[in-house]
């Protein structure tokens, strides 16, 4: 029995394959009845799979010796052709780089890439690029193996280090070419993803056989196409602490307002989700929804109404909200950080000062104390 099992359970390492759109599977072109073990689909270059074909698809049925019947529904893999091999496992020389700001889960992603390449595809040559993009031409490298990355998911930050800026396309591609790297895994936010696209275009222009894989990384959740990036849930959870602290302090004083500024740049996902999760927030200001301060329907009118109702309130504001109002008096739109992102003004401090000025006029004749608690939470 042992010899039967060992001879029939031969293992093979998957190959790196790429999809050729000229091939598509037509279920109507062949007899669909097959078992799990001997399914081998037929592909035709001029046919396409459509919903009618899927509905007419005959399900796989397996009948066992004991009388059981196993019926399976169509799966996407049944319609994917046997793709040609693009990289042999022993030829792969991969590298991983992390760029931009820190994000919860970076080491976990590095670990899974290394372990996935090793255990699923038999790739033994994986290189870690230290210090972001500039690490390609100005820093050391780290050989990455499953043993090296075994426990890194328990640490914060990134074992590879990171940096902003340093994107020199020519030097980066030169380094990739000189080292013989043929798979590049780039982990970063929106600016990093733009840089990865430029690197890919340069690689294609030179005609190099190099694959570039981009892994979106941002707690702001501001990268299109994906629904949610890793680290976002942690950011929302951490924001609860700041909101809770502001709520406790605001309800402890008469006419006290707790102002919590959260990260997000020009995206209000952290502020919005943290507000929905907290239930203690009276007003949430995000970049996607412009607001104004004075006049009917303005922020000051709402603040005065809420203070009259309950005597305290909590305001959550995303760091990118209200920037148009700040720029009317602070002309700094041309300033950028190392990654090329526009520097944002401190909207939390600005709106706190505006509220204090408003309160001095609105409550000047009343014997009450007005307090603004400004909490900035960087997660």
Is 220 annotated in the active site? yes
d(CA 239, CA 262): 7
Q: Which of 241, 249, 244, 279 has its CA nearest to residue 369? A: 249
How far CA 202 is from CA of 51, 62, 210, 239, in Å, comes to: 39, 51, 11, 40
Q: Which of 182, 174, 110 has its CA nearest to residue 143? A: 110
Write the DSSP assignment of 219-252 as a string of letters.
TT---SS-S--TTHHHHHHHHHHHHHHHHHHHTT
**Is residue 114 within 8 Å of residue 144, measured between CB atoms?**
yes
Contacts of 88 (CB under 8 A, 6+ apart): 15, 16
* Catalytic residue selected from 20, 174, 190, 220: 220
d(CA 349, CA 99): 29
How far CA 74 is from CA of 52, 62, 291, in Å, comes to: 13, 14, 50
Pairing of strands 60-63, 43-44: unpaired
**Is residue 100 within 8 Å of residue 132, measured between CB atoms?**
yes
Burial of residue 43, with CB atoms counted within 10 A of its CB: 0-12 exposed, 13-18 middle, 19 or more buried? middle
| 3-state secondary structure (DSSP) of residue 10 | coil
Q: Please, what's the b/e burial string for 29-41 (b: 16 or more CB within 10 A of its CB; e: otherwise)?
A: eeebebeeeeeeb
Burial of residue 371, with CB atoms counted within 10 A of its CB: 0-12 exposed, 13-18 middle, 19 or more buried? middle
Q: Which residues are catalytic?
A: 220
């Amino acid at each position: 029995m042992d010899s039967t099992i060992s001879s029939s359970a031969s293992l093979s390492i998957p190959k790196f394959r790429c999809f050729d759109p000229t091939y598509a599977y037509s279920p109507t072109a062949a007899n669909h009845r097959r078992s799990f073990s001997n399914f081998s689909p037929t592909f035709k270059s001029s046919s396409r799979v459509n919903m009618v074909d899927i509905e007419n698809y005959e399900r796989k049925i397996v009948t066992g010796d004991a009388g059981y019947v196993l019926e399976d529904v169509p799966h996407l893999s049944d319609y994917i052709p046997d793709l040609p091999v693009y990289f042999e496992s022993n030829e792969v020389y991969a590298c991983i780089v992390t760029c931009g700001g820190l994000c919860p889960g970076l080491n976990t992603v590095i670990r899974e890439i290394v372990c996935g390449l090793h255990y699923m595809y038999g790739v033994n040559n994986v290189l870690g690029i230290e210090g972001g993009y500039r690490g390609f031409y100005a820093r050391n490298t780290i050989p990455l193996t499953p043993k090296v990355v075994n426990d890194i998911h328990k640490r914060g930050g990134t074992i590879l280090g990171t940096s902003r800026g340093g994107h020199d396309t020519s030097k980066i591609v030169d380094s990739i070419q000189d080292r013989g790297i043929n798979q590049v895994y780039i982990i970063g936010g929106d600016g990093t993803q733009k840089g990865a696209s430029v690197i890919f275009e340069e690689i294609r222009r030179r005609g190099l056989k190099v694959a570039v894989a981009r892994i979106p990384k941002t707690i702001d959740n501001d990268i299109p196409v994906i629904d949610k990036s890793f680290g976002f849930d942690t950011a929302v959870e951490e924001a609860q602490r700041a909101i809770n602290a502001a709520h406790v302090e605001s309800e402890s004083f008469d006419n006290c307002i707790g102002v919590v500024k959260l990260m997000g740049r020009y995206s209000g996902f952290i502020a919005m989700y943290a507000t929905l999760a907290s239930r203690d927030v009276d007003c949430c200001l995000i970049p996607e929804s412009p607001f104004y301060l004075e006049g009917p329907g303005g922020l000051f009118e709402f603040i005065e109404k809420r203070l009259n109702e309950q005597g305290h309130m909590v305001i959550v504001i995303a760091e990118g909200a209200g920037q148009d109002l700040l720029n009317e008096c602070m002309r700094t739109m041309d300033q950028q950080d190392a990654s090329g992102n526009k520097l944002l003004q401190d909207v939390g401090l600005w709106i706190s000062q505006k509220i204090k000025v408003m309160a001095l006029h609105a409550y000047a004749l009343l014997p009450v104390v007005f307090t603004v608690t400004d909490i900035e939470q960087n997660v």
